[in-house]
Amino acid sequence: MAKERKLFGTDGVRDLANTGNMTPEIALRLGRAFIRFTHGKRIVIGCDTRLSGRMLEGALYSGMSSEGAEVYLTGINPTPGVSYAVKVLGADGGAVISASHNPAEYNGIKFLGSDGCKLSDDEELAVEEFLSRDERNTSHNVGRVYDSPGLVKDYALHIASLLNPEAVMNNVAFDCADGASAMSVPVLVDATKFSQLNTKIISQDFDGLNINRDCGVMHMANLTSYVVKNGMSLGFAFDGDADRVLISDDKGRIIDGDIILWVLGRWLKKFSGNDKVVVTVMSNMALEAHFSDEGIKTLRCPVGDRYVLETMRESGAGLGGEQSGHIIASDFTSTGDGLCTAMLFLNAVHDLGENVSTLADRFGRYPQRLTNLALIRPRESVDMDSVNAIVAEYTERITNGRIFIRTSGTEPLLRILVEAPELETVEELSAILSSRLKEFC
């Protein structure tokens, strides 16, 4: 039987900060293990705005430096900003200290390879094996540590350069989730025509404790209400490390990752000829129907932007993403990138002559409900064979629909997704399955 990762989940190692798997001691050992795995000589580190970020940063770069690695500290920087810096510097890898969309009391560490992409499952398993040895470097070769905050500005200016000046819209709002994009979005705005128009930046006053609190992609009402109240044309919301984006139209309706992919998929096919798009098992079935009508092939993969990227590479697809707003356009970025996606969306809307106000109406999604059941036991011990047997029983009752169950890789949750053409069926089956599956949690 193949070994399974014990520390790494869907998006790196994550836990309540200063406890469990997210203590300075673990961070130091992870840094040391990562260098032993990569034999890296040059590494980039960035973090989001959490209070615990600097504590973990110090421990992480200490472990790396003790192995002789040269470390560049970019400070508060989106995950895609670290990815960009890795490639610009020709570094051997990178690390991001962030718990993404989770509340401020959590934190996490995820590693990037020399290509700026997240490590594969096998690579993370290898890091865990080095971690288990906990060998010490007896060499006196201590690596240098550099403060390199200018790399954050370089990333923001790079994103600004992707935007067609003619695609810039008036009355646009950016919700930074009091996270890492609060450092990048102002630079992007100042470097583009946004600075000459009525552009608003909200939720950018971070204090280390308010990241993702009542703002960003996890609390879209913050942006949608602002857009409607202030007569904005459009709004972009990011998560804590800005690798995700969701959009509000002028009526305050949410344009999620599925609709963003629908727009970008048509745009890329028209202007680059690529006719394949990778989506996860969570994407709405309406997206497949739309792509089929456009002659675009839809490929599905497990949840997680790492798996999206792997499937893109295997299939030659130029675009992939998740309903949650992780979008990867391989000609432009190596990982989910909220700011990049926002700029590409504006380009696509302009080039396709799209009416953003009607996108939500025209998409016509199938009714879908996602229910989260709290896990008391470790996710590895959930009896998924029995769970899947129950799912199969009810799946037979749906026509042109589906049921999908999985344990979360980032939170102690069992996720139940029900999708069908009829809302009544979705609500009924969601309630039944939630009741029956509680015993496995």
315 in catalytic set: no
CA 340, CA 71: separation in Å to the nearest integer?
26
Q: Which residues contact 67 (CB under 8 A, 6 or more apart)?
A: 31, 32, 35, 36, 137, 143
Who's near 173: CB < 8 A, 6+ residues apart? 199, 200, 201, 202, 223, 226, 227, 230, 232, 234, 235, 236, 248
Distance, CA of 86 to CA of 138 (rounded, Å): 28
The beta strands (E) that lie in 152-264 are given as 172-175, 199-202, 234-238, 245-248, 254-255
C-alpha distances out from residue 420 to 42, 132, 180, 289, Å: 50, 46, 37, 14
Report the alpha-carbon distance of residue 352 to residue 44 in Å, rounded.
Answer: 38
Question: Strands (DSSP E) along 176-227, which ranges?
Answer: 199-202
Q: Is the CB of residue 128 less than 8 Å from the CB of residue 9? A: no
Mind spelling out the 3-state secondary structure of 109-127? EEEECCCCCECCHHHHHHH
The DSSP H or E segment spanning 151 is helix 150-162
**Whole-Å CA distances, 270 to 263, 290, 294, 363:** 11, 15, 10, 19
Provide DSSP, 359-415. HHHHH-PPPEEEEEEE-SS-GGGS-HHHHHHHHHHHHTT-SS-EEEEEE-SSSSEEE
Listed in sequence order, the residues at least 6 apart from 440 whose beta carbon sits closer than 8 Å to its beta carbon are 382, 383, 386, 387, 414
Contact 241, 305 (CB under 8 A): no
β-pairing, 93-97 with 42-47? parallel
Residue type, 211: I
Task: Report the C-alpha gap between 236 and 227 in whole angstroms.
Answer: 10
What is the longest distance spanned by two Cα atoms in the chain?
68
Catalytic residue among 66, 83, 100, 324: 100
Catalytic annotation, residues? 100
